[in-house]
Amino acid sequence: MHKSINNLILLETELKSKLNDFNKAKIVAVSKTFALEDILPLINHGHIHFGENKVQEAIEKWVQIKKDFTNVKLHMIGKLQTNKVKFVIPLFDYIHSLDNIKLAKKILKEQKKFNKKLKIFIQINIANEKQKSGIMPDELESFYKICISELDLNIIGLMCIPPNDDKSNHYFSKMKKLKTKMNLDDLSMGMSKDYLDALENEATYIRLGSKIFGKRT
């Protein structure tokens, strides 16, 4: 058995033993920098959600895979530049990093070209960090209204990357409250170091790389 399959089975077993509502959460296997020989065993095992953060790398790896495995869902989890949107729309199924109006308008334009609507998360700058991307919590409501009413984007939830400290649970709790306030269904949050805290705060998508594939070299 490939190590990624074994790691995934161990992870799913752990989550089922600790969380009653585990089946509501989707594991996005973050496959950035990993080769096809690491990815294909997971697909053949039945895993369908994968995340990439660089468009060119994703194109090189996933165009053929998605032709061969039409049920696979690809998630854009990195910062998305407007000039890359035209490549993202035909290949990806989810965008986790919508963080400004210019990008939202570009997504709308390219979706019309391809007659395709992706599932989109608004990225929240949950700790108000100047160096990070994301919509500030107090600007979320107005930004969301524009995305829905004017641009007709398929906003399914919110995403955050909390500060690299020991307070993830605090920020995840704030995200949970925002999700409830906005009446949204999904939260994309939690990585290999803090996914349990994220799931306890109603994360529905967790993004795990090293936990599944091992350390990147």
* pLDDT tens, the chain, 217 aa long: 889 999 999 998 888 887 766 667 899 999 999 999 999 999 999 999 999 999 999 999 999 999 999 999 999 999 999 999 999 999 999 999 999 999 999 999 999 999 999 999 999 999 998 888 999 999 999 999 999 999 999 999 999 999 988 789 999 999 999 999 999 999 999 998 999 999 999 999 999 999 999 887 6
Name the residue range of residue 45's domain: 3-213
Segments of 78-196 assigned E as strands: 94-98, 119-123, 155-159, 186-188
Q: What integer pLDDT is reported at residue 56 of this predicted model?
A: 96
Count of domains in the chain?
A: 1
Query: Is this prediction's pTM over 0.85?
Result: yes
Question: Do 57 and 65 meet the contact criterion of CB atoms below 8 Å apart?
Answer: no
Q: What integer pLDDT is reported at residue 166 of this predicted model?
A: 77
Q: How many CB atoms within 10 Å of residue 195?
A: 22
Q: How far apart are CA 213 and CA 82, in angstroms?
A: 30
CA distance between the termini of the chain: 21
Q: Which string of DSSP letters, residue by residue, matches 4-27? A: HHHHHHHHHHHHHHH-TTGGG-EE
Q: How far apart are CA 169 and CA 176, in angstroms?
A: 10
The amino acid at 181: K
Q: Within 13 A of 81's CA, how many CA atoms are on the CB side?
A: 5
Q: What integer pLDDT is reported at residue 123 of this predicted model?
A: 98
CA distances from 187 to 50, 111, 130, 156 (A): 16, 23, 22, 8
- CATH code for position 172: 3.20.20.10
